[in-house]
Amino acid sequence: MKAVIQRVTRASVEVEGRIIGRIGAGLLVLLGVAKGDDERDLLYIVEKLQTLRIFGDEQGKMNRTLIEAGGALLLVSQFTLLGDTSKGRRPGFDLAALPEEARTLYEQAVGRLRAKGLTVETGLFGAHMQVELLNDGPVRSCWTAGEEHRLRLSSLDRGCR
């Protein structure tokens, strides 16, 4: 499982000309589900998102979580995070989970994040979306969940460090 996390002043996602998810200050999270991902990988990402301290305190130091900062989270499924171009110019998506499996874990992520008290907006799984954001900082982080996946996807992480 791969996640790209960006601190934003605002973000929205649009499908067929209609905004379906919108947040003010908070996090835009692009989530790619890989073959073999399971609940442990999901819990790793959820826990990190809940406890990540990248929002400024009174001194401007990154010391607050999303909840402490009063922010929201926009979660967008993006299987293209698992694209592999090591063997050519067109990305291959052999590492991406099948849509049914990915949708299940994506929906579980939404539910678990909300259960942790986070305000969560979403994209539309499997749809062609336009995502608009205003980066804050910019602050960005990339994560790969699970030791097996860190090893398996290490070649894909180069652009995310």
- Point out the residues that are catalytic: 78-80
User: Taking the CB of residue 62, how many other CB atoms lie within 10 A of it?
Assistant: 13
Tokens of 52: 């990540």
Nearest-5° Cα angle at 121, 84 to 110 = 65
**Is cis: bond before 138, omega within 30 of 0?**
yes
Instruction: For residue 7, give the nearest of 76, 74, 79 by alpha carbon.
Output: 74
Whole-angstrom distance, CA of residue 26 vs CA of residue 116: 15
